[in-house]
Structure 1
Amino acid sequence: RSLVSRATGRSLVLIDEICRGTETAKGTCIAGSIIERLDDVGCLGIVSTHLHGIFDLPLSLNNTDFKAMGAEVVNGCIQPTWRLMDGICRESLAFQTARKEGMPDLIIKRAEELYLTMSRSNKQTSSTAHHGPSVGYSNVNGLVGMPDSLGNMFEPPSGTFGLLRKDVESIVTAICKDKLLDLYNKRSISELVEVVCVTVGAREQPPPSTVGRSSIYIIIRRDNKLYVGQQTDDLVGRLGAHRSKEGMQDATILYIVVPGKSVACQLETLLINQLPSKGFKLINKADGKHRNFGMSVTSGEAMAAH
C-alpha cells in the first residue's frame, strides 16, 4: 500500500518476491496490477518474482523491460551467474538448491517426477500464444526493470503462425522419438529418454536446465522459414547470437534436450533433410550435406551416414 500510494517518478522501488504470501492465482493478478501502477508512475525500480504467470497477463506496460538471471555449470552443477540477461526465464534452480542444502535425494527425485507430470498437463492445456512455453516452468528471477515498451508482448500470434508452430513441434517430436528409439535398439544410447519439445518465445530465454547439456533447436522466423541447429552446452548464448542477426529478433525457438553431442548432430542433420519433405522451408538446408554424423538423403530415403 505504501509503495503504490507514495511512489513518484523520482522514486526507486525494489520489491523481492512480490505477492508470494497468498493464493498464487490472485497473488499473480495483484502483482500484475501493482506493476502496471508502478509502470504508469514511471519510477525506477526492480521487481523480482517466481510468479511467472505475471508474464502471461494482458498487462498494459510502456516503461517496463523483462530480465532473467543467467546460469552456468560449475563442477557439474548448475549455478546462477548473478548477471542479468534480456528476456524471460520460466524455470528455477529449486531442485539444485534443495540438493545443495541436503534434502534427501528420494524427495527430490519424487518432486522431479511430479514436476514432469505437471509439465505434461500444462503442455496439453496451454494456449497457442507464442510467448508461452509448451512446458510450464517456474522463473529463476524474472525481473521487471526499465525502460522498454512491451505493449505488444501479450498479443497472440496470427492463426497461421500458431498452426505452423504446432505443426513443427509435432513433426520434430515424432522424428526425434523415432530416431532415439532406433539408437536405443542399436545400443547407441544407454537409455531411452523422453522427448520433450519446449517453446521459447520471442522475448524469452531457455531455462537453466539447458546449461551444460546437448540439444537440437529449431528457429521459426516471422517469414515462416526454419533454421535447424544443435549446441553442446550454451543454448542461451547460441540463441543470443542468432537473435542478433537480421530477421531473427522476434523468432520463436523450439528445443529438445538430447543425450550427447553425437546424437544432437545426428538429429540436426536428420531434421534438415526431412523437414523440407514435410513442406517446411529451411534457410540452412545445405547444412545437411556437410555433417560427419547424422543422416543423408539417398534415393529419397534417409540413410545413416558414418
Structure 2
Amino acid sequence: MIRFIAIKIFQSVITFIISAVLIFAGVRALPGDPALVMAGEDATPDQLAQIRADLGLDQPMVVQFFHFLGNIFTGDLGASTRTGQTVVHMISTTLPVTLWLAAYAVIVAVVVGIALGMVAERFRGRWPEGVANVAALLGLSIPNFWLGLLAILLLAVTLNWFPASGYVAMTENPLKCIYYLTLPAVILGVTLAAVITRQTRASMIETMSTDYVRTARAKGLRPARILFRYGLRNSLTVLVTIIGLQLGGLISGAVVTERIFALPGIGKLTLDAVFSRDYPVIQAVVLVITIFYIVINLAVDLLYSVINPQIRVGGGR
C-alpha cells in the first residue's frame, strides 16, 4: 500500500508539472495584449513597454515559465492586472462559493442518482424502470444553461419558490446560504445524477445476478437487505470513480451555472479574467482546478481499498 501511494504521488507531481506547462502555454496563446488592456487604446509605446516590464512579459518565455513555476511553490500567484488585488485574495474569496455549490450538487446528484438507479434495478421490466431511464436520458440530453434559465423562469419568477440570483455566505447564515444555492445546485447536479442513475442500475443488475446474491436469497434474507448490503455496497466502487471524476468537472463546469444565477464564484472570476486578458488570474484559476482534479483522482484511488478490502492495489498480494 505504501508503494502504491508513493507511485500515485509521483504520478500526481508529474501530472502537475505537465499541466503547469500547458496552462502557461495556453494562456500565452490567448489573443490580445494584457498591457494594452491595462493601459487603454491611447497608451504610448513607452507606457506599454513599462507595463510589460512590470508584468515580466518582456522576458524570454523560458524565464517567464520558471518564474511562474517558482511563484506557484512559494504561494505568490501575482496580482490581477485588472483590479490590482492579489490573485490569492481573489481566489480565496470566490472559491468557497464554488466549493459549496459543487458539494451541494454532488449531494443532490448522489441521493437522486442512487435512488433512481436502485428503483430501476428493483423494478426491472416495469414502469418505474422506464421512468428512471427516461429521467436519466433527459438529464444527459438537456443542456444545463437552458435548464437553468427555465428553472429561473418557472420556479423563481413565476412561483417565487427560490431566488433567481444572489448569495449569502455560509459563515453568515448557513440556512439562507443553502436556500440560495438549492436551485443552482440542482441544475448543476442534474447531469451527474443521470450518470449515477445509469451506472448504479447497470452495476446493481450485474451484482444481483452473482452466485453469492442467489445464495443470500436461498437463505431467506429479505430483498431490501440484499439490495442494500450486497447490491449497493458492491456498486460503490464504480460510483466512487464516477463521483471523483465528475467532481472536478462540477467545479470547472460551474462557470455557466454561476453566470446564470449571478453567483460570485470562481466561474465569474474566470470569465472576467478571460474577457480582460488577466494572465495571472487565468493561470491561477486553471491551476487551482487542475490541482483539484489531481487530488480528487488520488483520493479515489485510495478509497478503492477502503470500500472493498478485496481489492489489492500496487501489485500487492
Please state which band the TM-score falls in when normalised by the shorter chain. under 0.3
Task: Choose between structure 1 and 2: higher strand proportion.
Answer: 1
- What's the TM-score once normalised by structure 1's chain length? 0.25
- What's the TM-score once normalised by structure 2's chain length? 0.24
User: If you compute each CA radius of gyration, which structure gives the higher value, 1 or 2?
Assistant: 2
Q: Which protein, 1 or 2, shows the higher relative CO under an 8 Å CA cutoff with sep ≥ 6?
A: 2
